[in-house]
Amino acid sequence: MKDIVRQKLSINVEIMDMLNKQIEKEAVSSSAYLAMASWCDHNGLENSAAFFYEQSSEEREHMLKIFKFINDNGGTAYAPEVKSVMHEFNSLEEIFEAALDQEIEITQSIHSLVQKCRKLNDFTTEYFLQWFVNEQMEEEQLMRRVLELFDLMRDEPLKYIDERIPGLREE
Ligand code: FEO
């Protein structure tokens, strides 16, 4: 009986490794957004700073969601190490471009995980990951909306762009 219980709780090892790598990516992402928030704060771009503080918290929540999922399913989640986060940027637009690149990378990583789940018939993890598939779609769309704003308001002072940032989250 005990063995059956244990089997039911065991997460596939390959999937668990990939999920632990995803934890690291979410942690790096959270930290990178914090660095972006700091740059915005130092450059007097209050709304953009608030935007990135919020992004950073969301990424930490994503990390914890995966962390908890692994442990709840009989695996072992590892606390991630975060190294080499970029703090120097040339412009706010460059920051949002980097943010979009980061989100695209995370989307690809989530999609690879879903593919792996399908290959190994791990329907539970695939179902769990659906939330992340949707979340990534929304996050990419958000970053693209901000970058469109730069195109539309290229000749305006930066502070006007900064003022429009909070509204984009609600769209
Ligand atoms: Fe959690 Fe947007 O990556």
Cα 59 to ligand 1 centroid, rounded to whole Å: 5
Of 81, 125, 101, the closest CA to residue 36 belongs to 101
Whole-number Å distance, alpha carbon 136 to ligand 1 midpoint, is 6
The helices-and-strands tally (H runs, E runs) of the chain is 6, 0
How many angstroms separate the CA atoms of 89 and 103, rounded? Answer: 18
pLDDT, tens digit, for every residue of 80-122?
999 889 999 999 999 999 999 999 999 999 999 999 999 999 9
State yes or no: 138 annotated in a binding site.
no
Quote the ligand 1 centre to 141 CA distance (angstroms): 12
Q: What atom in ligand 1 is closest to the CA of residue 135?
A: 2
Q: How many domains does the chain have?
A: 1
CA nearest to 15, candidates 3, 26, 23, 27? 23
**Which domain CATH number covers 138?**
1.20.1260.10
pLDDT of residue 30: 98
Range of the domain at 9: 2-170
- Give the chain's length: 171
Alpha helices in 43-156 (DSSP H): 46-72, 92-119, 123-152
Reported as a single tens digit per residue, the pLDDT across 40-96 is 999 999 999 999 999 999 999 999 999 999 999 999 999 999 988 999 999 999 999
